[in-house]
Amino acid sequence: MWRITPGHKARSPDPHRTQAPGYTRQPVLGYPGSGPDLGPSQIGRGVGDASLQRGGRGHCGTGQKSPGGRAAHTADEVAVVGADDHLRSADQTAAAALAQRAVWMGHHGACLHQRLQVSQPGGLPFTRRKTMRMYDIIAKKRDGGTLDHEELSFAVNGYVAGDVPDYQMSALLMAIYLRGMTDEETAVLTDVMARSGDMVDLSAIAGIKADKHSTGGVGDKTTLVIAPIVAACGVKIAKMSGRGLGHTGGTIDKMEAVPGTRTSLTQEEFFKQVNEIGISVIGQSGKIAAADKKIYALRDVTATVGCIPLIASSIMSKKLAAGSDAILLDVTMGDGAFMKDLDSALELARQMVAIGTAHGRRVAALITDMDKPLGRNIGNSLEVAESMAVLQGKGPTDLTEVCLQLASNMLVLAGKGDMPTCRKLAEGVIADGSAFEKCCQMFAAQGGDISVLRDADKFQKAKYSYELTAPADGYIYKNDVEKIGNASVLLGAGRIKKEDSIDFAAGITMHKKLGDYVKAGESICTFYADDESLFAAAEEMYRGGLVIRDEPPTLPPLVYARVTSDGVERF
């Protein structure tokens, strides 16, 4: 079997001329049905950065011979000669694939193209690649043009491969930020990003696989609640989650607050666990949507994070690559979320649902409130304890309700019935204890000490605590959620930089929340940390977003709307 592997890089006679399209894990430059021999797992870098192998016959690089025995003096010629050898041996599919990668080289590739067209009646699924420059792609988007699949593939895959420099990708991201993208462009960008890394095949796991993604928030611990609920109802959960950064927490950090828990499993372990107990939540592989990780890091330092097409493609590229059949999106809105207003949240949800639906997935989105933290605990072990309380039927009302709505929607997507039926299923597995036991099963299977799940007092405690008190009588009229999240980070519960370590015991327990009445001197919240010198900065941050007035605020709903391919249902 032929495969293309990283190898010798050719020189280009023209520095502006396209060399390799970069990492391309889709069949033959996006053409489906190019045959198993050159499928996603076999296609690596482009021709100008590759050597060819066949069985044990050795590399065919610069100054070596092709599989057919003929000399190939440059890496460019390898593709032409290799494709020609395939043609001689009647391997039409492989010949077409290699010729497609060689055709931009000029005369030899073009002649080979003509021979291939003649040799197979009706022609081949094969088009001449146009010469591209990143400069022209940037200029086109700057001027409001629409980028096609080939242009977006060139930019994204070239950036991942290192052929497109940071400054040019930054310019393109800013052009997208200012000019926007059509729905078609966003869908294409998502597909290209998803295929820039591994595409997970979950077919080895029996049944419907469901996934959920939150756009982030403070105290957002819903995965630890809804994943066991849905799994206890008979739907497989094979989920990859991320870590926290900045004021938003991450599911993997919370899981690792349970001593001994492994969040990095082999594929065999992951599949086996989901098939046996119906659930596993692990850390996202660095090979999933490789382009997203690199592009997001660039967006983070170039003021291009808050762009709906870029947010949608970032989220959905990972969800599509992760392989689940049904995807529920929790789009948070408010002070503690990326989306600050309902119109923006609805547009993001609409785009993501459209992308998922176009890729054959069952997708829905809920717009949920993030003008106040979910529940009362912020911080890793504190949030795990609160999640277990919900699964045991004694958690905070707001967190319980949001989790029931999310779980019910996941069950609907998985085909378990209509909304009232699925709501009863979700409530039932909390009431009978099976959802909590399913959660304990998952942690135990991944090496976690489940005694802390059954008794939260067994969690390691912070050395110090501090009471933040109300400065006056009145209602909590505003309590900025982002500042609450940042206060928890200052206590050690989160990361400012991705390399930072986390204190699992650090965090905040809120005694009074938005809309509650307080008296002067009454405790609003308790801080926890292992270093009492951290309390002053955290208090300043928290109080900076706290407003107390004589009149109560108008409280937002927990869930604003549901978005599906059929439209928007407002609550």
pLDDT tens-digit series, residues 277-312:
999 999 877 688 999 989 988 998 888 988 999 999
**pLDDT band for position 106 (cuts 50, 70, 90):** very low
Q: Are 361 and 409 in contact (CB under 8 A)?
A: no
pLDDT of the residue at 14 = 37
pTM for this predicted structure: 0.75
- 3-class secondary structure, 403: helix
- 3-class secondary structure, 441: helix
**pLDDT band for position 215 (cuts 50, 70, 90):** confident
Mean pLDDT of 166-180: 96
Catalytic residue among 292, 325, 369, 371: 292
* Known catalytic residue at 449: no
| Size of the chain, expressed as the number of residues it contains | 571
Mean pLDDT of the residues in the chain = 80
* Known catalytic residue at 213: yes
What one-letter code names the amino acid at 380?
N
SS (H, E, C) 506-517: CEEEECCCCCCE
pLDDT above 50 (res 62): no
pLDDT of the residue at 208 = 93
SS (H, E, C) 63-98: CEECCCCCEECCHHHHHHHHHHHHHHCCCHHHHHHH
Ramachandran assignment for 278, one of left (phi > 0), alpha (psi -120 to 50 degrees), beta (any other): left
pLDDT above 70 (res 325): yes
pLDDT of the residue at 497 = 67
Catalytic residue among 213, 350, 483, 495: 213
Catalytic residue among 243, 318, 361, 513: 318
Q: Are strands 49-54 and 2-9 parallel, antiparallel or unpaired?
A: antiparallel
pLDDT above 60 (res 263): yes
Q: How far apart are CA 446 and CA 452, in angstroms?
A: 14
Catalytic residue among 314, 317, 387, 488: 314
pLDDT of the residue at 71 = 41
Residue 470 has what DSSP assignment? -
Of residues 92 and 538, more confidently modeled? 538
Mean pLDDT of 324-341: 90
Q: Are 251 and 241 in contact (CB under 8 A)?
A: yes
Opening angle at CA 243, ends 237 and 246, nearest 5: 140
pLDDT tens-digit series, residues 403-415:
999 999 999 999 9
**pLDDT band for position 117 (cuts 50, 70, 90):** very low
* Known catalytic residue at 292: yes
pLDDT above 60 (res 465): yes
**pLDDT band for position 243 (cuts 50, 70, 90):** confident
- Alpha-carbon Rg for the chain, nearest whole angstrom, is 27
Catalytic residue among 54, 212, 243, 299: 299
pLDDT above 60 (res 76): no
